[in-house]
Amino acid sequence: MNRGPYIFLGAFALLAFSWTAAILANQLGYGTLTPHYDAMEGKSFPAPQPGIVARGAMVYTDLGCAACHTQQVRRADLGGDLTRGWGERASVARDYLHEKTVQLGHNRIGPDLRNVGARYESPEDFYQLLYAPEQALPGSNMPAYRFLFEESKISGERSKDALDVAVAPGYQVIPTERARSLVAYLSYLEDVYAYPETQYVYPEKEASDDAAAEEEGQ
């Protein structure tokens, strides 16, 4: 008996099913998502990425930060991300609309970075962390990224961009263009806007407060 047509049909059905489930269903669900226009504030969210931020996202991809850091805050019923202070609310699909490459990551060797811009006050703090993580975060296994900085001899006055770190007298450490872009990107990472879907789908804040209260009670 010639089973060729059945094998072909079986393989075709399998491919058609996977394509529908993996691609079509997601496209129908998320493909039409647009930024949310807030009439009160007169602007759209998420805010568009300025050029330096978009370049920083490429540096982040290039350096493989996603090997150790995720960028997705989980809902209160799925883990302790909110109680750890990694965000005000769980991440939603709309948060990533302007990201060319979504850097979700899957290993959490270090903290989630989706809202790291809210945790660090100034670019200088990020530079310090990238240049000398062992000082900014003692005992940490976050690698140093010194190649993002240039050590140069001070000629005349010390540059206003020079880092406040210990170097040989007469020398200074200056962030390169890549460091500046990366830090602009990290500072931009802050999902605070409450989209309609974040308000009624996930009432996380209360849930996480409850979880915190429970933990304290124990």
From 36, 74, 98, 119, residue interacting with ligand HEC (rule: CB under 6 A): 119
Q: Does 52 help bind ligand HEC (rule: CB under 6 A)?
A: no
What is the closest distance, in whole angstroms, from the C-beta atom of residue 67 to ligand HEC in the complex? 5
Please return the burial class of 162, using the count of CB atoms within 10 Å of its CB with bins 0-12, 13-18 and 19+: middle
Beta-carbon contacts of residue 60 (< 8 Å; ≥ 6 apart): 66, 103, 182, 185, 186
Taking a C-beta distance cutoff of 8 angstroms, is the pair 200, 90 a contact?
no
Cβ contact 89:191 at 8 Å? yes
Burial of 165 (C-beta count, 10 Å sphere; 0-12/13-18/19+): middle
- State the binding string over 62-81 for ligand HEC (x if CB under 6 A, else -): -xxx-xxx------------
Which of 113, 168, 164, 108 has the alpha carbon at shortest distance from 136?
Answer: 164
> Cβ 69 to ligand HEC, closest distance in Å?
5
Amino acid making up residue 78? L
Among 116, 132, 163, 173, binds ligand HEC (CB under 6 A): 116
Residue with tokens 């996480």: 208
Nearer to ligand HEC, 128 or 208 (CB): 128
Question: Using the rule CB under 6 A, which residue among 44, 58, 143, 207 binds ligand HEC?
Answer: 143
CB of 79 to ligand HEC, least distance (A): 16
Q: Of 46, 87, 105, 110, which one interacts with ligand HEC (CB under 6 A)? A: 110
Would you count residue 175 as binding ligand HEC (CB under 6 A)? no
Residues that bind ligand HEC (CB under 6 A): 60, 63-65, 67-69, 109-111, 113, 116, 119, 129, 137, 140-143, 145, 182, 186
